[in-house]
């Protein structure tokens, strides 16, 4: 398994990001601490100089682990389940722009908050249909470019569906595309799953990406999650992808990044 850390090119209110407001310093620091990859939380690819990013990644011998897209939901209000068709189409267009960008780095694209929530009424099934259809279109677009898409299971206090692995598996069946995988996040799992081990084993062959973060959203080792159990379950299912630290930059970014990777490496 490889280890990545999350950065954001913009300042953001989304808390669990190691380095914000640019990419050069964050990438340099992650590489210095021994990270294999960087995940960029990116509202839109317009915010980033692609050629400069390529150069900085090369110079620091680190790969682009993935593109996180949730800031487009948080800041721009773009989701697949918005009642307004124009917003839904804009959300799909934004993900396609992210896919085109990511394909230049052979990196996957993550769909988290951009799937949106479901209404609490008779339009629920319709909204699920919109999200499934949007994912099908994005997966087809990504497939042509050799890219995978990950759908993240997020806890109930942020979105009202796709909160756990079993819902995620059902969703994968509905979308029915071979380049769509589950993305688990140990912070959300700690709230939603009754067993880390069982839910990971249940997702054998379907997990594309992992956010590794403790119960308090600090670096692994600062809270009470049992990472030995998680890593041994991931080994058991043959997971070889990234463990990406999406963590609060606390007590300060460098300490979080350094302690986090030291803790995880020791368990691998």
The count of chain residues that interact with ligand LER, using the rule CB under 6 A, is 10
Least Å distance, CB 154 to ligand LER, is 5
Which x/- pattern, by CB under 5 A, does the window 73-112 give for Mn ion? ----------------------------------------
Gap between the terminal Cα atoms of the chain:
8
Residue of 5, 26, 112, 220 interacting with ligand LER (CB under 6 A): 112
The verdict on 113 binding ligand LER (CB under 6 A) reads: yes
Q: Work out which of 150, 244, 246, 264 binds Mn ion, going by CB under 5 A.
A: 246
- C-alpha span between 220 and 260 (Å, rounded): 6
158 in active site: no
What single-letter DSSP state applies at residue 211?
A: E
Number of other residues whose CB lies within 10 A of the CB of residue 129: 13
Q: Are 234 and 203 in contact (CB under 8 A)?
A: no
In the complex, minimum distance from the CB of residue 51 to Mn ion, in angstroms, rounded to a whole number: 28
Q: Is 59 part of the annotated catalytic residue set?
A: no
Beta bridge partners of 64: 38
Question: In the bound complex, what is the minimum distance in angstroms from residue 256's beta carbon to ligand LER?
Answer: 16
The residue among 101 and 187 lying less far from Mn ion, judged by its C-beta, is 187
By beta-carbon proximity to ligand LER, the closer residue of 123 and 191 is: 191
Whether 1 and 13 have beta carbons less than 8 Å apart is answered as no
Cα angle 244, 75, 69 (rounded to 5 degrees) comes to 30
Catalytic, out of 39, 192, 193, 246: 246
Radius of gyration (C-alpha) of the chain in whole angstroms: 17
Binding partner of 113, given Mn ion, ligand LER, none, CB within 5-8 angstroms per partner class = ligand LER
Sequence-distant (6+) residues with CB within 8 A of 218 are 247, 248, 250, 256
**Which of 5, 26, 45, 70 is in the footprint of ligand LER by CB under 6 A?**
70
How many angstroms separate the CA atoms of 208 and 173, rounded? 15
Helices then strands, each counted (H, E), the chain: 10, 9
- How far is 178 from 46, CA to CA, in rounded Å? 29
Least distance from ligand LER to the Cβ atom of residue 72, Å: 12
Alpha helix segments (H runs only) across 162-244: 165-175, 186-192, 196-202, 227-236
- Using CB under 6 A as the binding rule, whether residue 168 contacts ligand LER is answered as no
Interface with ligand LER, residue 246, by CB under 6 A: yes
The residue annotated as part of the active site, out of 152, 158, 193, 202, is: 152
Window contacting ligand LER (CB under 6 A); options: 25-33, 151-159, 198-206, 254-262? 151-159
Instruction: Figure out which of the listed residues 39, 185, 192, 193 binds Mn ion, where binding follows CB under 5 A.
Output: 185
Nearest C-alpha neighbor of 2 from the set 48, 60, 64, 84: 64
Binding residues vs ligand LER (CB under 6 A): 68, 70, 112-113, 152, 154, 158, 185, 211, 246
What residues line the site for Mn ion (CB under 5 A)? 185, 211, 246
Catalytic residues: 152, 246
């Amino acid at each position: 398994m490889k280890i990545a850390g999350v950065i954001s090119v913009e300042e953001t209110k989304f808390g669990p990001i190691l380095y914000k407001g640019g990419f050069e310093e964050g990438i340099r620091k992650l590489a210095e601490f021994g990270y294999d990859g960087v995940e960029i939380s990116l509202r839109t690819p317009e915010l980033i100089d692609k050629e400069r990013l390529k150069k900085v990644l090369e110079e620091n011998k680190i790969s682009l682990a993935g593109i996180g897209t949730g800031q487009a939901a948080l800041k721009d209000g773009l989701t697949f389940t918005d009642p307004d068709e124009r917003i839904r189409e804009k959300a799909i267009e934004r993900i396609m722009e992210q896919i085109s960008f990511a394909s230049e780095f052979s990196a996957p694209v993550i769909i988290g908050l951009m799937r949106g929530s479901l209404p609490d009424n008779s339009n629920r099934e319709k909204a699920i249909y919109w999200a499934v259809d949007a994912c099908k279109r994005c997966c087809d677009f990504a497939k042509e470019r050799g890219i995978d898409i990950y759908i993240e299971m997020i806890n109930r206090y942020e979105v009202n569906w796709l909160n756990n692995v079993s819902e995620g598996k059902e969703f994968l069946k509905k979308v029915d595309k071979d380049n769509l995988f589950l993305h688990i996040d140990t912070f959300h799992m700690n709230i939603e799953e009754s067993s880390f081990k069982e839910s990971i084993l249940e997702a054998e062959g379907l997990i594309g990406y992992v956010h590794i973060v403790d119960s308090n959203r600090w670096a692994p080792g600062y809270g009470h999650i049992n990472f030995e159990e998680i890593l041994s379950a991931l080994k058991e299912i043959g997971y070889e992808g990234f463990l990406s630290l999406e963590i609060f930059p606390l007590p300060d970014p460098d300490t979080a990044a350094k302690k986090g990777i030291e803790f995880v490496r020791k368990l691998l």
